Structure 1
């Protein structure tokens, strides 16, 4: 891409200052100033349901099938504003309001975490019931994909569309099943088995619901968000700096992309950690890998081919956006110059500000052009983007004792010469997508809620501890409705900086393949609210999920939702357990270390 602009031997630092380069960027499409999460137009017949002859208010052929309108609309909002998954069956008795009004108002429902239950919180009972639920579903040959403990919240809005009562559902065992694999009757029968299981423990306050869902690892070529800020260099340079969540790919698998989740040191050597599935495709098998000095290295690069092309495009898009703004600004300067010449004092004052604005924008454009030239000359050759090589990666395994977590880890020995000059340790760059005030309001919606988080002035959030898995159940915050929760956030190549809610009870996930299925227990993260957008998407695998006490929480590795990039729930391996796995192979590994800030 862009090879037609100038010959390979061309001096890019000279070329970006020519009219030919300006003509190219002027053809770049305008930036999209909207959110990175699109709010899809609602379509009741999406996801493969193409039976257009069937009424949307009809039910499926089973006795316990739900109305089609309810199937496709009930969970609207659980993905943070995107259309929700298809409902198969539920035991709850609330009534979904029919869309009304000229704008067809549709109720939004929010996914809430669960941190305490009178019975499930004691004696590890949830783990026992969760595992017995797996057996019950298998006995009924239900092709389930996930078992989560959730609650829901919505506004019981009256027909006049004024503010209504806030309703919070009962705790619900939320079961995902493969699309088109289960009907209402099968789900009903399984739900009765689960309810009977709960009754054996004198539990009568939990609902059961089934929805269509697919669990998938979150690897994929990434697309960078369009740049539309007046300080675009900050946004486009993120993935060439040293904080965590750098986009990485294998030298020979440059179409598969993930993130670097943490750093550690052994002596003077520097290592990085990601998920194994980011660098080892299924075609390479699932055997223990240790680097053999007699064999070629399995090199890891910064950004795959698609990601690098997208980075180039984001820079030219930024330049094009600013140049279009400058054209408008120059016309305004002409107007105010004429007025100021005629003696208009107010116009003269405005003219000073406009000229200052013009000078600043021209400096930014020049910086972007120089950065583009640096990318083409120093980073375009994929060999220059090699940042290290894999030294150890055990096979991916699930249901590992004692907790049932997934082992999906890969350790990379990093090229110190490329990191140490500007290295800051395990820090997350919070980026520019969420302004400081908005970020703090999302992290602490209640002013009187306790929080140790102090927003760093340089946007580099330092990690200093690991959150114990036992603390997942203990909320340390409240949302704007006063509901206890524990907020977490992450920085990923695909969805950048996002904030979510860590569930207090772990989930069970199942992935299917030609060779059977893969099961594991996972920490679960839900979207921040019903309009916040997805917490994560394809391309974020390996990223660190972190807490508000400068602590690692989990390594992101999968999500459940529609096949593609719409995830209801994000899964991760608790960092407390994962770090013990790494230390077993690297007993002298140090996770938290002091590196002086660059001068």
Structure 2
């Protein structure tokens, strides 16, 4: 295998990982000619395939046994195809790949080919003859980023001219959070719950590693009750220090952008001012309308900036609440074998109460137009009933996706294959749409090149929508809730894998029903994902 193939085999994928080896003998063709270009690839879910039922029924464990002496990071089952072919409705489905991630520079191409061949042979022994094996360099990472107060705004407080500016300070999900004790690390809020029908105390779920740093807390069980010493509260803030500074800068940038639009529209009005034909009048009217909107935006943003600067600037004013329960991060937990990485925060009533909270909701923003968003969520006309883009671009959440439906989706992609489209709003990459796979991945985490656990852990895997929209998640999105188009919660985002930690090819999440069962086993009373607060 040439160095060129190793470097460009996965062109188009978010992190473009390095190919180590593959079992397929089909020659890779480098681009040639005066207008040569690399053909881009995309990841797609597997859909209906015999491997789906065999994978978790001991076959994955046999593959892992073959990888005993390999520093592998993940075993994923995906389809990988060329973008130009996937866009054709008549194109055959892309090939199914057993995609093995290994630590960078830990496996030679020759040794990798031997490993890939053994895995391919094992698949064939189980009657799986149409799946190839590919090994790439890839690191699994947990996606936190480094980097009596005012009340949140309600979920309806938004603006059409400044997407995302107000959202972090509203009660819609996906706002950035940080432990007050480690303000340089920042992640994402997950989803609100209550205990049963309790309408007084609101709780927030996120990933543990977002608000606890393993090298500082020793990954020990944390619990704080009403009777605990207040000095030992583990406070959680909206934004870390660096994140808040960047937030202020983003408001200023938006003000500058709208100020430019004022000058631009004034120039257009002047340009059409001396003309009196119908077309010029129409353009002048449009420019005047845009000018009025820009002026209104500047005034609104300046007022908002001053409010944020005076009311939210100190870490104390941004305290959202405190952690009441968080077990140690653990892998291969219970009979399901998923990762346990969660924390529950009691939300301060001074920040969120019945006056500004109306349930779990995600602001879809306006960076993706309503028609495009609908087409992304409903790639097959049969699925049109599964998503409705509301006029206020707020997706209200209710209930959870049954685990059986995660494995056997009832919706279809553009090729008629079973497919579950999902959404998340994260602190790092904002609102994204992805394909949830119906076959779990297995992952292993490494710290400074040393494996942190001998046990692999199972994860629910999310693929990017396509090669043009970018990754589904990035560093800083950990803790985000992942939902389907009907507003049902599917899981909690805990990490992903890619050539490097900044850009992820695959996103990993823990199914929500598993999390709720674990919370209840740890003492929470009937965790309820449809919270209501008393008026």
Report the counterpart of residue 257 of structure 1 in structure 2.
Answer: 186
Decide whether aligned partners of structure 1 residues 345 and 426 sit closer, same or farther in structure 2, where only a CA change above 3 A counts. Answer: closer
Report the counterpart of residue 358 of structure 1 in structure 2.
Answer: 291
Report the counterpart of residue 548 of structure 1 in structure 2.
Answer: 485
Aligned-residue offset at 1:310 = 1.3
Deviations 1:439-473 (A, max 9, x none): 00111122234542212222221221211222222
Please say if 1:144 is aligned against 2:80: no
Q: Is the 8 A contact 2:461 2:509 kept in 1?
A: yes
Report the counterpart of residue 504 of structure 1 in structure 2.
Answer: 438
Aligned-residue offset at 1:385 = 0.5
Report the counterpart of residue 151 of structure 2 in structure 1.
Answer: none
Partners of 1:525 and 1:445 in 2: CA distance? 16
Q: SS in structure 2 opposite 1:78?
A: coil
Deviations 1:476-516 (A, max 9, x none): 33333444321111111111110111111111001112563
- Give 5+ residue unaligned stretches, structure 2: 148-157
Residue number among 70, 73, 83 corresponding to 2:5 in the alignment? 70
Aligned-residue offset at 1:201 = 2.3
Report the counterpart of residue 63 of structure 2 in structure 1.
Answer: 133
Deviations 1:182-235 (A, max 9, x none): 01221122223323322432332221110000000000047xxxxxx9943443
- Radius of gyration: which is bigger? 1
Deviations 1:369-399 (A, max 9, x none): 1011111111112211001001111000001
Partners of 2:255 and 2:17 in 1: CA distance? 39
Aligned-residue offset at 1:345 = 6.5
Aligned-residue offset at 1:101 = 4.3
Residue number among 316, 322, 336 corresponding to 2:272 in the alignment? 336
Q: Is the 8 A contact 2:100 2:136 kept in 1?
A: yes
Q: SS in structure 1 opposite 2:299?
A: helix
- Give 5+ residue unaligned stretches, structure 1: 1-65, 223-228
Report the counterpart of residue 153 of structure 2 in structure 1.
Answer: none
Please say if 1:520 is aligned against 2:457: yes
Deviations 1:227-259 (A, max 9, x none): xx9943443111000011111001011111111
Decide whether aligned partners of structure 1 residues 464 and 345 sit closer, same or farther in structure 2, where only a CA change above 3 A counts. Answer: closer
Q: SS in structure 2 opposite 1:364?
A: helix
Please say if 1:566 is aligned against 2:500: no
Q: Is the 8 A contact 1:155 1:165 kept in 2?
A: no
Residue number among 200, 209, 214 corresponding to 2:134 in the alignment? 209
**Which residues of 2 match residues 82-161 of structure 1 at below 5 A?**
84-118=16-50, 120-122=51-53, 125-138=55-68, 141-154=69-82
Q: Is the 8 A contact 1:289 1:394 kept in 2?
A: yes
Q: Is the 8 A contact 2:42 2:83 kept in 1?
A: no
Q: Is the 8 A contact 2:339 2:457 kept in 1?
A: yes
**Which residues of 2 match residues 184-223 of structure 1 at below 5 A?**
184-221=109-146
Decide whether aligned partners of structure 1 residues 382 and 72 sit closer, same or farther in structure 2, where only a CA change above 3 A counts. Answer: same
Structure 1 residues 572-581 or 290-299, which shifts more? 290-299
Superposition RMSD in Å: 2.4
Report the counterpart of residue 155 of structure 2 in structure 1.
Answer: none
Decide whether aligned partners of structure 1 residues 208 and 365 sit closer, same or farther in structure 2, where only a CA change above 3 A counts. Answer: same
Aligned-residue offset at 1:179 = 0.6
Q: SS in structure 2 opposite 1:258?
A: strand
Partners of 1:261 and 1:397 in 2: CA distance? 19
Displaced runs of 4+ in structure 1, greater than 6 A? 162-165
Aligned-residue offset at 1:321 = 1.2
Please say if 1:427 is aligned against 2:361: yes
Decide whether aligned partners of structure 1 residues 200 and 356 sit closer, same or farther in structure 2, where only a CA change above 3 A counts. Answer: closer
Q: SS in structure 1 opposite 2:495?
A: strand
Aligned-residue offset at 1:580 = 0.6
Partners of 2:134 and 2:344 in 1: CA distance? 39
Decide whether aligned partners of structure 1 residues 167 and 212 sit closer, same or farther in structure 2, where only a CA change above 3 A counts. Answer: farther
Q: Is the 8 A contact 2:159 2:166 kept in 1?
A: no
Aligned-residue offset at 1:565 = 1.1
Decide whether aligned partners of structure 1 residues 522 and 233 sit closer, same or farther in structure 2, where only a CA change above 3 A counts. Answer: same
Report the counterpart of residue 418 of structure 1 in structure 2.
Answer: 351
Please say if 1:242 is aligned against 2:171: yes
Decide whether aligned partners of structure 1 residues 96 and 163 sit closer, same or farther in structure 2, where only a CA change above 3 A counts. Answer: farther
Q: SS in structure 1 opposite 2:492?
A: strand
Partners of 1:346 and 1:530 in 2: CA distance? 40
What TM-score comes out, normalization by structure 1 length?
A: 0.81
Partners of 1:331 and 1:457 in 2: CA distance? 33
Decide whether aligned partners of structure 1 residues 451 and 75 sit closer, same or farther in structure 2, where only a CA change above 3 A counts. Answer: farther
Q: Is the 8 A contact 2:163 2:367 kept in 1?
A: no
Aligned-residue offset at 1:168 = 3.5
Decide whether aligned partners of structure 1 residues 351 and 155 sit closer, same or farther in structure 2, where only a CA change above 3 A counts. Answer: closer
Q: SS in structure 2 opposite 1:392?
A: strand
What TM-score comes out, normalization by structure 2 length?
A: 0.90
Partners of 1:184 and 1:337 in 2: CA distance? 69
Please say if 1:591 is aligned against 2:529: yes
Deviations 1:94-124 (A, max 9, x none): 3333223444321111111123323x344x5
